[in-house]
Structure 1
């Protein structure tokens, strides 16, 4: 009994203990879940971080971008922005290519829209190239922030101590030449390694910079804009540059690269060194580049642009805008300039006393910046390379300066054939001669001996066909002169309506000579105008589709430099409508050929059909060649003009000359009675139908009789 009691107490105690343990465990789990929920909530409220990825290229490992990133991330933590900026920096040590290849890499990334990066650092010359892939910062940045950069040279690029203390620093190119000659004459035996002026006109982007700033330093006055390349100012400037090179330097010295310049800066073995704004050897003193006159100078703008991808989502765009606002703020730029001595594109900073203590503000204000502008149709790298190559043909070769400048000027022009050109004069004469013959041929139907050869068509259909011929000739006339949107539309209008008016009358003629028992066919035969009206209605509908999305002018850039403009359909509906018109007009010709094929064995029409088939094949071949010409890439604008005009001329005149002129003359010489043969053709067909109809009637009568 006692034993049983003790067992009962023990078991009861064990059960209570187990329940207590389970209860404690449940509380522990609940507490853990509660704490986890609080942590998650805190993370959501305060710990969510947006990662913004940026990419840049730098020639040097010690770059400014890393400083931007570090400073912003520190600023983000201090202000609880929950934004982390990371940088993928390409340098010569981890990227074997150059800035051109880096530019191609960026364009590939942007075109694929793979959102690999959010912020892009790139040279300002590529604004046109990358601009379409970036957001418009004006829609995101405050106006007062943008106004910081509204003056100075920033708008041009964003929218897309000398030991010889006894001599003054040259302010003009004449003074630089005189000073160099004087010192080199005295020093050449003491220091044979000494050079006068590095030039830095090498075959790299540095050479392009040197050429642009030199031209700008030779303008007529300080207020003069960058001169055009085909005027006397630029020609005389380059003649002066070549004379300077021969007096104080050499081809080899002017062609030396950046490395050579840096060596001279380090060893001090050059009187004058032209280079970017860097901390120089203490033996040198910075000065602005000389000019052709006192007070005139020129300095190429070099710098980076910043772009934010347009397809990264609103959350990342807003985070990127905060980064951009920070690193372009006046306070940040001021502190950055104080730390690094780097110049800023905010002009008002050079009125700040703190800045002027570490930076020569007066020197900065005296710099006359010039951007490297180029036609947006070109790739900048290709344009820059061609620019250098043409100028260097004169500077280092024997090409006359006018010839070199004219070759380069071709890059900036778009050419077309006009009546004043040799080709234009010849073609205009040929065209006028053809028109004169065509007008003269209109008297043939009025002559009694030839009148019967024109009865194959009704007089009104002859008028329609001839009207179509002259409409198509209008396509030839619009080929002269510069390309305009109106001319693009006129050429399509003249072509489509011209072919329809010219060919459809023959469909009407052939349909009358083909006698079928189909009721619809009989109605069509009785209403010839219905065919022409339907065709013209379709032409109108297709042409209105093109007018809804007008043509644009495409600029064709060629290797020869003879660029030209052409009509281009860029919107899908416009392209489709254009090719449907070409197909539709081809089908009109093919339909006429098919009807002529059906009647090919007609004894009374074979003479006419022989000429008609030849003219139709010529017309169809011309249309095919015109379409191919539109597709094929032709670089020479003269060749393109000649081929297009020849094909349009053949298209316009072949049917008229073959069927309207040559056919009657041939039949007249053969003494063929066209009027008699024509009546036979239509009567014989009618008799066949009538006999067939009578046979059916007789057959029915016989059957009923039986």
Structure 2
């Protein structure tokens, strides 16, 4: 009696040749109308466990790995009790054809293969029309019926298997019971993988479980990686990477926003005199906006997210550098109409610089990003933003060129004003920030086009570049001010009664002592060693004027301190 299930066939220990893995797994689907089991489903798990038990019981390693020649030889000679092979009118006289055994009772499935027909697209219209007529003829019910009767070539026209004349030649009940399915349709539904390569790897991974030392969980993971595309997620099912990046993003963003509180502390106002408060806030907002571009890496990558990422980086960049550029142009040594206009109309200047960036990014939006499928042979597949449009590539170049031109403008103004300002610290930090910005912009575009076939490595490099881009800019523009505050707080605790930042900025340190030609003073005063006196805790001083000073002391120092 022909076995109806794999377990019944196992008891005969008679199967010879290589099993078709897909058919075995398909026979374990839940119901008759259920689709091919998902790779990570309990059906696939059960099927693979049963397949291993079956193969190791009835098939040797050499038989399992044998090619089709051995199976075909046994098919021709009848040298098998049970054999699984393609149906053929000419050779099946030695065997009785039957449906494949079931995994779950009554549920089977046989892989089907089909004939392919192609029409040359370069032929003229007359021949194309003629080809269509030929295809209509070949696929007509009448011709399909004739081929089924004369050659036993199975037809996809199901109603033919209810034809009495056909069923006299063909075992119609057998055809109706085989539950056919296609590997292409059921398993391989994507056009980014070579079907032969996919099938080879699929079988190879399962063999590692059946005849090797891999566990079923390890093999299912590898099978899943063949067609699965990974995305960054806050969930930790596949990796902690997304969660770690998210925590870093939220912590840094929170610190950036909270640090704005120092702008509103009266005793620190002199440290932040370089920009107006609103422009300090704008600069920090710019850093936060750049950081927010990291969120576009999460979830499924789309053309919209690719555009949003570039727009956030551009807009954040403009917000973060505009205060620097405004200050430098306003202080240009040779005053002109432009510098005066920039000084008087800072918001119009901001809108002008921002408008150009928005205009370029709007042009970029005309061209859609292509979502590139990065298929990794033995790793995690992933998607990547890829601009293929020539217009889009040119626009990206113009955006980068515009950003870099603004940075070089800052360098130009810093050099022009270098000798005019005795306090060069801010200028040094401006140059540091600008240099890092230029490097980050260039790296961003290079890395976006570089082929990196590793999911974690590719995203780590891109996200790290954004983090460094943001944090370095923040430290050089705003962070150095906080460092000065923390250092002054430490000195205040050390010397007691310390009044920080009073004579720290360039617009105050010459205002009293240098203007009154004071060379030194005593009575618990602390000197920082470079001519700028930093401790004014005492209200009475012994002041020593320089010999060439002919200017009287303008006001009582207590009044001066209170006023400042």
Whether 1:295 and 2:110 are equivalent positions in the alignment is no
What secondary structure is seen at the aligned counterpart in 2 of 1:270? coil
What is the count of residue pairs matched by the alignment? 489
Equivalence for 1:383: 198
SS of the residue corresponding to residue 343 of structure 1 reads coil
2:326 to 504, 508, 514: 508
5+ long unaligned stretches in structure 1: 1-167, 182-195, 202-209, 680-706
2:74 aligned with 1:284: no
Aligned to 1:402: 217
- Other-structure match for 2:3: 170
- Per the alignment, residue 528 of structure 2 pairs with none
Whole-angstrom CA distance in 1 between matches of 2:444 and 2:67:
50
C-alpha offsets along residues 279-303 of structure 1, whole Å, 9 cap, x if unaligned? 2253311112111244322110111
* Cα distance change on mapping 1:371 and 1:639 into 2, 3 Å: same
SS at match of 2:116: strand
Residue 438 (structure 1) aligned with residue 267 (structure 2): no
Q: Greater CA deviation, 505-514 or 220-229?
A: 220-229
Residues 283 and 427 (structure 1 numbering): CA distance in 2 closer, same or farther, change over 3 Å?
closer
Does residue 1:487 correspond to 2:305, yes or no?
A: yes
CA-CA distance at 1:426 after TM superposition:
3.2
CA contact (8 A) 1:485 1:552 kept: yes
The CA deviation string for residues 121-153 of structure 1, in whole angstroms up to 9 with x for no partner, is xxxxxxxxxxxxxxxxxxxxxxxxxxxxxxxxx
Partner of 1:369: 180
| SS of 1:304 mapped into structure 2 | coil
Describe the shift of the 1:443–1:341 C-alpha distance in structure 2 as closer, same or farther (beyond 3 A). closer
1:610 maps to 2:420: no
- Measured in 1, the distance between the counterparts of 2:335 and 2:272 equals 28
User: Does the 8 Å contact 1:608/1:663 carry over to 2?
Assistant: no
Q: Does 1:647 pair with 2:460?
A: no
The answer (yes or no) to whether the contact 2:24–2:103 under 8 Å persists in 1 is no
Question: What is the correspondence of 1:94-493 to structure 2 with a 5 Å cutoff?
Answer: 168-178=1-11, 180-181=12-13, 196-201=14-19, 210-278=20-88, 279-280=90-91, 282-372=93-183, 373-376=187-190, 377-421=192-236, 422-493=240-311
Q: Equivalents in 1 of 2:254, 2:104: separation in Å? A: 62
| More contact order relative to length (CA 8 Å, sep ≥ 6) | 1
> 1:223 and 1:434 mapped to 2: Cα distance?
52
Residue 674 in 1 paired to residue 506 in 2?
A: yes
Report if the CA contact (8 A) 1:471-1:498 is conserved. yes
Specify whether residues 461 and 246 from structure 1 end up closer, same or farther in structure 2 by C-alpha distance, changes over 3 A only: closer
| Conserved? CA contact 1:454–1:664, under 8 Å | no
Q: Closer, same or farther in 2 for the Cα pair 1:173/1:426, shift >3 Å?
A: closer
Of Structure 1 and Structure 2, which has the larger fraction of its residues in helix? 1
Deviation at 1:610, TM superposition (A): 0.6
Structure with bigger gyration radius: 1
SS at match of 1:641: helix
Comparing 566-575 and 650-659, the one that deviates more: 566-575
Task: Judge conservation of contact 2:369–2:387 (CA < 8 Å) in 1.
Answer: yes
Distance in 1, Cα, partners of 2:506 & 2:127:
82
8 Å Cα contact 2:285/2:320 also seen in 1: yes
State the match for 1:624 in structure 2. Answer: 442
The runs of 5 or more residues in structure 2 that have no matched partner are 489-500, 512-564
**Residue in 2 that maps onto 1:660:** 478
Q: Distance in 2 between matches of 1:509 and 1:579?
A: 27
Query: What is the alpha-carbon distance in structure 1 between the residues aligned to residue 149 and residue 78 of structure 2?
Result: 27
Q: Tell me how far apart the structure 2 counterparts of residues 497 and 272 of structure 1 sit (CA, whole Å).
A: 70
Shift of 1:612: 0.7
Deviation at 1:544, TM superposition (A): 2.0
Question: Is the 2:294–2:466 contact (alpha carbons within 8 Å) kept by the matching residues of 1?
Answer: yes
Q: Contact 2:330 / 2:339 at 8 angstroms: preserved in 1?
A: no
**2:494 aligned residue:** none
What is the alpha-carbon distance in structure 1 between the residues aligned to residue 121 and residue 321 of structure 2? Answer: 52
Q: Distance in 1 between matches of 2:145 and 2:510?
A: 96
* TM-superposed deviation, 1:503: 0.6
Question: Whole-Å Cα distance in 2 between the matches of residues 232 and 460 of structure 1?
Answer: 59
In the alignment, which residue of structure 1 is the partner of 2:392? 574
Q: Aligned-pair distance for 1:520?
A: 5.0
For the structure 1 residues 308 and 597, does the alpha-carbon distance in structure 2 shift closer, same or farther, using more than 3 Å as the test? farther
Distance 1:229 1:477, change over 3 A: closer
- Structure 2: distance between partners of 1:371 and 1:470: 51
Give the TM-score taking structure 2 as reference length.
0.80
Contact 1:456 1:678 in 2 (8 A): no
TM-score (norm. length: structure 1): 0.65
Deviation for aligned residue 1:466: 2.1
Counterpart of 1:692? none
Secondary structure of 1:638's aligned partner: helix
Counterpart of 1:111 in structure 2 is none
Change beyond 3 A, Cα 1:646–1:599: same
Render the CA deviation track for 1:248-272: whole Å, top value 9, x for unaligned.
2222122221110111112221111
Q: Note the aligned Cα RMSD (angstroms).
A: 2.6
* Residues 304-325 of structure 1: per-residue CA shift (max 9 Å, x gap): 2323344544233212212212
Cα distance change on mapping 1:579 and 1:211 into 2, 3 Å? farther
Residue 674 to residue 258, structure 1, CA distance change in 2 (3 Å): same
Q: Which residue of 2 aligns with 1:559?
A: 377
State the alpha-carbon separation in 1 of the partners of residues 307 and 281 from structure 2: 25
Please give the alpha-carbon distance, in whole angstroms, between the structure 1 residues aligned to 2:397 and 2:207. 46
